[in-house]
Amino acid sequence: MRAKVALVLVVALGLATLADGARADGAPWQRRRRPDIRPNRSALTLVTPQDWPAEPSSPDAVDPERFARALRELCGWMPPGRATRYGSWMLQYGAELEVDPFLLGALAHRMGRCQPRAEGLSGLGLTLISRRQHGAHLRRGVYRYHVRRGADAGGGWEERTLRADRFPFSEHQLRRAEANLYFAAVILRVLREQRGSLVGLYDHVPYRHWVSHWVWGDWVKSHRSEDRILTDRRRLLTYYGAVTPPTPIRARGLAMGPPLDGAPRVVSSWIGAGRDGGARRHRGVDVESVLGEPVRAVADGRVNFAGVDLPGHRRNASMTPPQIADVPRSELGAGGRYVCVLHHPDPLREGEDAPPPWLRSCYMHLEDVEVRNGQRVRRGERLGTVGRTGMRESAPHLHLELHGPGGLLDASEILAPYLLGRNPEGSRQPSGSRAPPASAQRR
């Protein structure tokens, strides 16, 4: 009998030690986390929180119809009736819980790609809510959480409760769009109130916004998640009309704008970076993006190529959009489906040096091509959508090239107001360098 009691005490002490380890930071709760997520260390070096401008504010009053149209444009595929329903729930629960509906919309797109039954990152539904992360805190219709007393980090903890009984907190309900958005608003409200109290708990990486805790839980190990969520929020605000599109810049005699919405956007790979173990060099910049988002012309011009890249020594072929879509993906070269636009400078302005006679911009790896060879396009007009055609391993992104009479140009320099990123030392090819022969122009 004594041996059994001793064994029980040992097990109890072991469990207590584990619990204390989970609370070694001094927080009076079990640490919230997603167990199957790890930080991408290389992505952390691309951009820092200090590189970003201030995020735009949301409007005080939101028109439901405009919001639904903006949500549909962000999602890219959503039927109008579904956008109306989802938008109404975002506005309703955002108002009830004093949470930004544009942040809810950004989470629905970034986390679940607007799919109500999405799964991933140990989460479920539109916003990938993790029951494992929040289940111990959200019970019997109440979310229990703690905040520091006063401004002093050593002032102890105060328990608070938030009523959350509109739906049961179950896997079945999290796969329903309305319930998922309701609990997303509940959790965002909690995280917003806890933001100051969570700062000193762990050795967080620097970050800008408390929405980082949505992804990482109590211990933030990467700021890149919030970068992407906030990019989607900027896109949603732009589609709604609450954010004015970026002012065009003047470069090489042209009025130029961003190739993607929600600027600034992050460059993940630069011109001159090594490819295939150093056998070739990257001929453009890769801009982080998601599958299906619109790609836009950076300046007025005429489409002088719309077609596909073919492998080996076969010629690239200009085609109509239906013909492009019919080419099997397995037959595409590294550039995939792509579009090039030829731009001629505007008339010379007073005090302006004569610009080069032309500039060509090329947009590669597209999922869909929406323009034809010879078509005139205006700055900001849709050329197609982001894809990963021609790629082997990379995630969807936009490969952007700029060419001038002197050769290849660095888009990250010319479009610097719209593109963020820290170029690794030595990976940049000198601006204006001569392009290699056409047979060697592999992306």
Q: 336-353 pLDDT, tens per residue?
A: 999 999 999 988 777 777
Kindly state the average pLDDT of the residues 289-313.
94
| HEC profile of 235-257 | HHHHHHCCCCCCCCEEECCEEEC
Superfamily of domain 249-440: Glucose Permease (Domain IIA) (2.70.70.10)
CATH 2.70.70.10 in the chain: give the residue spans. Answer: 249-440
Q: Is the pLDDT of residue 19 over 90?
A: no
Spatial distance between the Cα atoms of 216 and 125, rounded to a whole number of angstroms = 17
- Which of the four pLDDT bands, split at 50, 70 and 90, describes residue 17? very low
| Stretch among 63-77, 184-198, 228-242, 264-278 having the lowest mean pLDDT | 264-278
Distance of CA 5 to the CA centre of its chain: 55
Q: Please tell me the predicted confidence (pLDDT) of residue 311.
A: 83
C-beta of residue 90 within 8 angstroms of C-beta of residue 75: no
Task: Tell me which H or E stretch contains 12.
Answer: helix 2-22
As beta bridge partners, residue 398 has 287
Local structure of 278: helix, strand or coil: helix
Q: What percent of the chain has pLDDT over 90?
A: 70
Q: Please tell me the predicted confidence (pLDDT) of residue 317.
A: 80
Q: Please tell me the predicted confidence (pLDDT) of residue 434.
A: 39
Q: Please tell me the predicted confidence (pLDDT) of residue 201.
A: 86
Q: Please tell me the predicted confidence (pLDDT) of residue 283.
A: 74
Q: Is the pLDDT of residue 231 over 80?
A: yes
* Inter-CA distances, 22 with 26, 191, 289, 324, Å: 9, 19, 36, 55
Pairing assessment for the beta strands 337-343 and 382-385 based on DSSP bridges: unpaired
CA neighbours within 13 Å on the CB side: how many for 210? 15
Pairing assessment for the beta strands 249-251 and 419-420 based on DSSP bridges: unpaired
- Which of the four pLDDT bands, split at 50, 70 and 90, describes residue 199? confident
Local structure of 42: helix, strand or coil: helix
* Inter-CA distances, 220 with 50, 55, 159, Å: 17, 20, 22
Which two tokens mark 67? 């919001």
Average pLDDT of every residue of the chain: 87
Q: pLDDT tens, 70-84?
A: 999 999 988 889 999
288-290-295-298 Cα dihedral, nearest 10 degrees: -20
CATH 1.10.530 in the chain: give the residue spans. Answer: 26-238
Q: What percent of the chain has pLDDT over 70?
A: 86
Q: Is the pLDDT of residue 2 over 90?
A: no
Q: pLDDT tens, 151-183?
A: 555 678 999 999 999 999 999 999 999 999 999
> 398-407 in b/e burial notation, b at 16+ Cβ within 10 A?
bbbbbbbeee
C-beta of residue 144 within 8 angstroms of C-beta of residue 137: yes
Q: Is the pLDDT of residue 424 over 80?
A: no
| Stretch among 217-231, 275-289, 328-342, 380-394 having the lowest mean pLDDT | 275-289
Q: What's the full length of the chain, in residues?
A: 443
User: What values do phi and psi take at 147, rounded to 5?
Assistant: -135, 155
Question: Helices 224-240 and 64-75, interaxial angle, to 10°?
Answer: 130
C-beta of residue 123 within 8 angstroms of C-beta of residue 38: no
Q: Please tell me the predicted confidence (pLDDT) of residue 437.
A: 32
Pairing assessment for the beta strands 142-148 and 138-139 based on DSSP bridges: antiparallel
Q: Please tell me the predicted confidence (pLDDT) of residue 266.
A: 96
Q: Is the pLDDT of residue 318 over 50?
A: yes
**Of 342, 268, 346, 242, the residue nearest 298 (C-alpha):** 342
C-beta of residue 346 within 8 angstroms of C-beta of residue 255: yes
Q: Is the pLDDT of residue 287 over 60?
A: yes
| Stretch among 3-12, 185-194, 305-314 having the lowest mean pLDDT | 3-12
CA neighbours within 13 Å on the CB side: how many for 393? 2
- Which of the four pLDDT bands, split at 50, 70 and 90, describes residue 378? very high
**Looking at domain 26-238, does it have CATH number 1.20.1640?**
no
C-beta of residue 217 within 8 angstroms of C-beta of residue 204: no
Kindly state the average pLDDT of the residues 203-222.
96
**Of 194, 199, 224, the residue nearest 37 (C-alpha):** 224
Check residues 130 and 315 and name the one with the higher pLDDT.
130
Q: Please tell me the predicted confidence (pLDDT) of residue 41.
A: 86
- Which of the four pLDDT bands, split at 50, 70 and 90, describes residue 273? low
